[in-house]
A and B are shown apart, each in its own frame.
Chain A
């Protein structure tokens, strides 16, 4: 008979190894990082531009100019671009965050030449045709209005405004009218200024060879797509957090209320960053976390609750997020603060910390497993101008941090009176 009462022997000594990227430059100076790995004949390429909302003069310009780049170029119509990708089962993904405008392609290697050809035209020569701009804006506006009916969207938007101040680009202050005043000229101007070779970085992941390098050089290596108006200095924005700590936004017909609680925290390049990551995992970063165990698994107030540390180039913050039944909203808030107080008042027991260490080591192993995960981990480093020692440091902290150190961090960073609280729905 096997013994089912005790756990099988475990082995948590593993070598978290990762492939270091190959680095090269195109003739015009564009930096490329390559992760040559995987067993399928395919490749994913990320083109990153300093073209996030940080650089826009009005709401939506960065995001909309990014997603409309594939709506027609000098050589191809929107329809043709879509056909070229769809016919080859390739994907063109356009996305922006606060810092970067991204163009990402995923393709089988056999189609690489055609896909690079059209991608280069999408990046370098989009024409933003009036008809497509209009249709896309109507579509985005509709999506925006639908999303704004959700308590989680209302809470998250307000939370970003409370944390950063309404004039800061990390705050989401989009309103319906923004979709109506945006013009084609806004998009063209932004694209011309921001999507230049000086602002570009490239990450390649998958199986590639000299052909890929030649293609990238041929299509992106020249200097004819530089900034027309000289180098534009990155704007500087002060953080202006709200002076009021608790905010409430009523939605009369709500059955659940969305809660956001958080504050600014040290960023990736600061000493306390790694320990805080472990602390916030204990609080709400995995299924066995204290918030989940208490508010979902003991009280049944919610389908899910989590806490995370969100880090961007110019800011890092704590975000505790959940949607709870309106009848138990106050009780849920009390329990969240009770868990926070507990972290300040008592050291995390060794047994619990051991579980968190092992869970986080497993997560780290996953973050380098497979080309998509490897490339995402590399992108995080590049976005914040860091190198792999960042992950080494994190692994070191996971393995060695003490309960006393976690308590010190909780006492320093999780004071109740310093936490912003946003609730949307009903209390």
Chain B
């Protein structure tokens, strides 16, 4: 159970305070309600590029990092399909430095051509490092592009194409900032060695005077139900062929979301899981085989991803995955197996409560989803899952016409 308090400032900034006296530190987390799903299809990768620019100095502070390091602080950020999240941690007595820095970059940025140029290059190197210069690096963009036709989840957070990053102008960047970086489009969480009254007082002091902005109402096209099986083959210079099956699933506020999470655990979490026992160890078809959910706020993907061992055909490998999916669709899981994955989730929730920064990030993400209080209800959502419900959801998802398959073949020519 995580105790927290909530308060909304006049400018619309939602503030969450959580006290944890076991640490000498405080985490300050600011989550903006903007992700790659909010991008223009011709200007993808913007939310993430923008995250980089947020470290290039703000209206009153030329350099973000130095003052923070100077008080023993540390920070980072990440961008997802749904949100852009900034966090810092520092010794409790220097909390005001953290709030000074975060509030100033919410107030306004020091936009410069030089800063934009450098960060464009940095992001392009990131693109190469993560996606282009790694074996299997382009799997994720290919899978999204195959599974989505309409919804902006069809491009990856880093961007659909390097040229979108290369062509970003300072005006695009400014426009993006004033559209989405607003107190009424963000959640501030202060967690750690501080009481909630003090947290609210300081939040009002530093963030209270930032003007509210006109944030466009999100109106994303829903992905229509997939009605036909999709398959794509590519050949790459990799040591082993790969098979990736992706199924459309539920949004994060649906109870079924938690069911799919447990299905993925039954299939592939830990050495006792089905895919691992059956298809990696007992009948060695795959060297690696995982099932996971994408974790998106809007309806995401349930993916089964495997790398074949030598000598197994891609057809047999696919058939073996389908056999496991059919099993979970047709036969009720027994109560023990379900209890196992529920226990594991419960233990993991407890482990995650140790760290004040984890708690700050989760509280913000749940608040943006609709209600920070969901953080304490997750356990119940999982405990409510029965073998019958699990089978119903599996039947809904694991249908051939709901499946997009990427067959990632080994390019023999370049061997």
B121, B125, B288: which contacts A256 (Cβ < 8 A)?
B125
> Which residue on chain A has the smallest CB distance to residue B348?
A89
Complex contacts, B350 vs chain A, CB 8 Å: 40, 42, 108
Write out the residue numbers on chain B whose beta carbons fall within 8 Å of the beta carbon of A255.
128, 132-133
Interface residue? B66 (CB, 8 A): yes
Select one of B91, B273, B309, B355 contacting A365, CB under 8 A. Answer: B91
Q: Find chain B residues with CB under 8 A from A298 CB.
A: 118
What residues of B have a CB within 8 angstroms of the CB of A145 in the complex?
A: 239-240
> For A39, what are the chain B residues with a Cβ–Cβ distance below 8 Å?
22
B271 contacts chain A at the CB level, 8 A cutoff: yes
A residues less than 8 Å from B354 (CB atoms): 38, 40, 370-372
Q: A300 contacts B72, CB within 8 Å? A: no
- B215 interface residue per 8 A CB criterion: no
- The answer to whether B121 and A10 have CB atoms under 8 Å apart is no
A369 to B281: give the CA distance in the assembly, Å: 40
Residue from B60, B205, B273 within 8 A of A5 (CB atoms): B60
8 Å CB contacts to B: which residues of A337-396?
Answer: 354-356, 358-359, 361-363, 365-366, 369-372
Q: Chain A contacts of B287 at CB under 8 A?
A: 138-139, 141-143
- With the chains together, A52 CA to B136 CA distance in Å? 32
Contact with B along A24-43 (1 / 0, CB 8 A): 00000000000000111010
| Residue contact B22 to A78, C-beta cutoff 8 Å | no
Shortest Cβ distance from B78 into chain A, in angstroms? 14
Contact in complex: B344, A89 (CB < 8 Å):
yes
Given A106-B351, A300-B117; A325-B125 close (CB under 8 Å)? yes
Bound complex: CA of A302 vs CA of B123, how far in Å? 8
Contact with A along B59-74 (1 / 0, CB 8 A): 1110001110111111
Known pairs A138-B309, A288-B66, A365-B25; A8 contacts B100 (CB<8 A)? yes
A412 lies within 8 A of chain B by Cβ: no
Assembled-state Cα–Cα distance A256/B124 (Å): 11
When the two chains form their complex, are residues B272 and A325 in contact, meaning their CB atoms are under 8 A apart?
no
> How far, in Å, is A154 (CB) from chain B's closest CB?
12
The A interface is mostly helix, strand or loop, or mixed, namely mixed
CB distance from A3 to the nearest CB of B (A): 9
Closest to B56 in A: A297
Q: Which residues of B contact A372 (CB under 8 A)?
A: 354
Which residue, A4, A89, A300, has most C-beta atoms of chain B within 10 A? A89
Contacts A14-B91, A82-B271, A138-B309: A362 and B74 contacting too (C-beta < 8 A)? yes
Q: In the complex where A300-B120, A371-B354 touch, is A362 in contact with B93 (Cβ < 8 A)? A: no
B223 at the interface (CB under 8 A from A): no
A85 to B122 alpha-carbon distance, docked (Å): 42
Contact B346 A89 (CB under 8 A): yes
In the bound assembly, the distance between CA atoms of A302 and B133 in angstroms comes to: 13
A8 x B96 contact (CB < 8 A): yes
Name the residue on B nearest A371 (C-beta): B354
Interface status of A132 (Cβ within 8 A of chain B): yes
In the complex, whether A286 has a CB less than 8 A from a CB of chain B is yes
Q: Does A219 sit within 8 A of B, measured CB to CB?
A: no
Q: Confirm or deny: A421 has a beta carbon within 8 angstroms of a beta carbon on chain B.
A: no
Identify which of B71, B74, B340, B346 contacts A10 (C-beta below 8 A): B71
Neighbour of A325 across the interface among B128, B270, B284, CB < 8 A: B128
Residue of A whose beta carbon sits closest to that of B350? A40
Which residues of chain B come closer than 8 Å to A358, judged between CB atoms?
Answer: 69-72
What chain A residues lie within 8 Å of B128 (beta carbons)?
255-256, 325
Q: A88 contacts which of B103, B271, B343 (Cβ < 8 Å)?
A: B343
Question: B195 interface residue, CB < 8 Å from A?
Answer: no
- Interface flags for B319-352 (1: CB within 8 Å of A; 0: not) read 0000000000000000010011101111110110
Residues of A with C-beta under 8 A to B270: 82, 85-86
| Residues in B neighbouring A369, C-beta threshold 8 A | 23-25
- B281 near A135: Cβ-Cβ < 8 Å: yes
The answer to whether B343 touches A87, judged by C-beta atoms less than 8 angstroms apart, is yes
CB-CB nearest in chain A for B99: A8
Q: Is B393 an interface residue (CB 8 A)?
A: no
In whole angstroms, how far apart are the Cα atoms of A40 and B272 in the complex? 26
Return B379 CB to nearest CB of chain A, in Å: 12
Residues of A within 8 A of B355 (CB): 370
Is A79 located at the chain interface by the 8 A CB criterion?
Answer: yes
**Which positions 121-150 of chain B face chain A at CB distance < 8 Å?**
121-126, 128-129, 132-136
User: Which residues of chain B have C-beta atoms less than 8 A from A78's C-beta?
Assistant: 271, 281
Q: Complex Cα distance A246/B79, Å?
A: 38
User: Hey, which chain A residues are within 8 Å of B66, CB to CB?
Assistant: 288, 355
A353 CB → nearest B CB, Å: 11
Does residue A83 face the partner (Cβ distance < 8 Å to B)?
Answer: yes
* A135/B125 in contact, CB under 8 A: no
A42 touches B23 (CB 8 A): no
Q: Which residues of B contact A399 (CB under 8 A)?
A: none
A150 vs B238: C-alpha distance in the bound complex, in angstroms?
11
A residues 68-88 touching B (CB-CB < 8 Å): 70, 78-79, 81-83, 85-88
The answer to whether B70 and A359 touch across the interface, beta carbons within 8 angstroms, is yes
Known: A139-B288, A151-B133, A325-B128. A146 touches B344 (CB 8 A): no
The complex places the Cα of A324 from the Cα of B129 at a distance, in Å, of: 9
How far apart are A311's CB and chain B's nearest CB, in angstroms? 22
Q: Contacts A4-B60, A89-B346, A355-B66: A297 and B284 contacting too (C-beta < 8 A)?
A: no
**What residues of chain A lie closer than 8 Å to B133, measured between beta carbons?**
150-151, 254-256, 323
Pair B129/A323 contact, Cβ less than 8 Å: yes
Contact A362 B72 (CB under 8 A): yes
Q: What is the distance, in angstroms, from A85's C-beta to the closest C-beta of chain B?
A: 7
Q: Of B132, B240, B277, B346, which one neighbours A79 at CB under 8 angstroms?
A: B277
| Sample of 16 A–B contacts (CB below 8 Å) | A4-B103, A10-B70, A14-B24, A38-B22, A86-B271, A86-B273, A90-B347, A138-B309, A139-B288, A143-B288, A256-B128, A287-B69, A323-B133, A363-B72, A369-B24, A369-B25
- A288-B69, A365-B25, A370-B355 known; 7 new pairs, CB 8 Å cut-off, are A11-B94, A86-B344, A87-B336, A106-B351, A303-B123, A359-B73, A363-B74
Nearest 4 CB-CB pairings of A with B: A362-B72, A89-B347, A300-B121, A142-B287
